[in-house]
Amino acid sequence: MEKFILSLDQGTSSSRALIFDHEGRIRSLAQKEFTQHFPKEGWVEHDPRDIWSSEASVMAEAITSLGILPSQIAAIGITNQRETTIVWDAETGEPVYNAIVWQDRRTAPLCEQLSRDGMEEMIREKTGLVVDPYFSATKIKWILDNVSGARRKAEKGELRFGTVDSFLIWNLTKGKKHVTDVSNASRTMLFNIHTLKWDKDLLKLFGIPESMLPKVCSSSEVYGYTSTGSLFGYRIPIAGVAGDQQSALFGQMCTEPGSVKNTYGTGCFLLMNTGKEPILSKNNLLSTVAWKIGKEVNYALEGSIFVGGSVVQWLRDGLGIIRSSSEVEALAHRAKDNGGVYFVPALTGIGAPYWDPEARGCIYGITRGTTAAHIARAALEGIAFQTMDIVGAMEKDAGIDLKELKVDGGASMDNLLMQFQSDILGTAVIRPRITETTALGACYLAGLAVGYWDSIGQIRSQWRAEKVFTPDMASSEVDRLKKGWKDAIGRSLSK
């Protein structure tokens, strides 16, 4: 009887389940969006029950549509939106508050206070991260300080914290397992990336009881089994976990130091594999754990773009110049160039390498001749320019020049954007045959743990390019565009 790997891809706006076969092909895919909550300006929340119910729904749909039995699932891999913070009751499993999403900025004042108190360098050295509301630690502290009775219950050992992977595993195992992997732990601002342990100094700094935290495991091992009382009615091993961007790095087979991928999703996330030692950035990038397989740890440099593909949603929902996201490429093609218009999409502040939560989006260079097509084109180019800034910082930190960029995510299917990305970087941009690399990475990690695949080498042979974009723009034009972008982003920053 043929066996498969079930990959759960729990994202910011939707839950997905994909079933892969032994050749790494997608055999079934189910997706369900869930509600986004914006209670105040800068606040972004999800109902954790929506996350779980939507994921349970798509799991059942993916299995049913393929017409297989739960016993044919060799293992489950999980990849998830990172930093998003859930705190729940250890006995009932009920969340004490909504999930505070990675995009949420409510803890910016606390982060500013930590910087004023001189904590930045200590936090950066231990965690590889900058002090920013993006990460989980200040979100946990906010819940403990602002939800009635939460701190008292936490100190009595009655609450659990988890990133989304931990919450899903808790529910899949009916509360038997409270675990996470090194890649997700490294995004909390509580995890020491050198010792690979929760850091007692940081727990004390944020006032977080260690009893709340999950056990940290590798990214590829059997963590536990689905409860027989669950929707499967069968014990399936849960065997692979990685945060979405590290999972995409693995799914792209960027397993050698210096290899780089960019995921064009809601945000954009550029990661470079730096090998077995972390490189602490001197150029405002993050150092993070990529994955741990067996006893071997791989690290990565990361640059995060908060607004990537979501700028297209804003063109649709906020500006109303397109009716669906798929129209943006055709609209942008109506303009032969950007017409001198630059769009800095700092709609929720700006991430690497600037890290300015008070930056605001700007569309600069508008004249009477500016059309909707120019704005659409400038929006797409803004994604590529932000990527260019991160690549520049990454090359300085790692001391190597980028030779190629592997790309994935929804916006990587936009040929105009990918060609412009190649032009502005002056390097090859490679789109794989399977662009669902985030789910694929979790699939591979789970499959390795249960012997579905023998080795990373066996998996690497499955990777195929679908299209390669090469630079095709005059260097003088590239220089002119870069100068215009530098001017525009200077106007967007608050500092």
The residue among 373 and 79 whose pLDDT is bigger is 79
For residue 160, the cross-strand partners are: 88
Q: Which residues contact 259 (CB under 8 A, 6 or more apart)?
A: 252, 253, 272, 273, 406
Peptide bond into 353 cis (omega under 30): yes
- Beta 179-181 vs 215-217: how paired, if at all? parallel
Q: Which residues contact 323 (CB under 8 A, 6 or more apart)?
A: 316
Please state the three-class secondary structure of the chain as a single string. Answer: CCCEEEEEEECCCEEEEEEECCCCCEEEEEEEECCCECCCCCCCEECHHHHHHHHHHHHHHHHHHHCCCHHHEEEEEEEECCCCEEEEECCCCCECCCEECCCCCCCHHHHHHHHHCCCHHHHHHHHCCCCCCCCHHHHHHHHHHHCCCHHHHHHCCCEEEECHHHHHHHHHCCCCCCEEEHHHHCCCCCEECCCCEECHHHHHHHCCCHHHCCEEECCEEEEEECCCCCCCCCCCEEEEEEEHHHHHHHHCCCCCCCCEEEEECCCEEEEEEEECCCCCCCCCCEEEEEEEECCEEEEEEEEEECCCCHHHHHHHHHHCCCCCHHHHHHHHHCCCCCCCCEEECCECEECCCCCECCCCCEEECCCCCCCHHHHHHHHHHHHHHHHHHHHHHHHHHHCCCCCEEEEECHHHHCHHHHHHHHHHHCCEEEEECCCCHHHHHHHHHHHHHCCCCCCHHHHHCCCCEEEEECCCCCHHHHHHHHHHHHHHHHHHCCC
pLDDT per residue as tens digits for the range 64-107 = 999 998 889 999 999 999 999 999 999 999 999 999 998 898 99
pLDDT per residue as tens digits for the range 312-337 = 778 788 877 777 777 777 877 788 88
What is the per-residue pLDDT for 229? 65
Q: Which residues contact 37 (CB under 8 A, 6 or more apart)?
A: 44, 45, 46, 47, 98
The pTM (predicted TM-score) of the whole model is 0.87
Q: Does position 52 have pLDDT exceeding 70, yes or no?
A: yes
What is the per-residue pLDDT for 16? 94
Band (pLDDT 50/70/90 cuts) for residue 17 is very high
Least confident of 14-18, 80-84, 242-246, 338-342: 338-342
Q: Does position 461 have pLDDT exceeding 90, yes or no?
A: no
What is the per-residue pLDDT for 230? 64
What is the per-residue pLDDT for 127? 96
pLDDT per residue as tens digits for the range 130-171 = 898 989 999 999 999 999 999 999 999 999 999 999 999 999
Q: What is the mean pLDDT of the chain?
A: 91
Contact 379, 335 (CB under 8 A): no
Band (pLDDT 50/70/90 cuts) for residue 353 is confident
What is the per-residue pLDDT for 120? 92
- How far apart (Å, rounded) are the C-alpha atoms in residues 210 and 198? 8
Q: Which residue ranges form the domains of the chain, and what is each CATH number? A: 4-245 (3.30.420.40)
- How far apart (Å, rounded) are the C-alpha atoms in residues 15 and 175? 21
Q: Does position 28 have pLDDT exceeding 90, yes or no?
A: yes
Average pLDDT of the segment spanning 276-287: 88
- How far apart (Å, rounded) are the C-alpha atoms in residues 159 and 169? 16
Contact 446, 242 (CB under 8 A): no
Least confident of 181-190, 368-377, 422-431: 368-377
Pair of tokens at residue 278: 């972390």
Pair of tokens at residue 7: 């990959």
**What's at 165, amino acid-wise?**
D
The residue among 170 and 355 whose pLDDT is bigger is 170
Q: Does position 309 have pLDDT exceeding 90, yes or no?
A: no
Q: Does position 290 have pLDDT exceeding 80, yes or no?
A: yes
Pair of tokens at residue 190: 């509580």
Q: Does position 421 have pLDDT exceeding 70, yes or no?
A: yes
Contact 378, 338 (CB under 8 A): yes
Using CA atoms of 344, 345, 351, 355 in order, give the dihedral in degrees to the nearest 10: 50
pLDDT per residue as tens digits for the range 214-262 = 999 999 999 999 987 666 678 899 999 999 999 999 999 999 888 899 9
What is the per-residue pLDDT for 231? 66
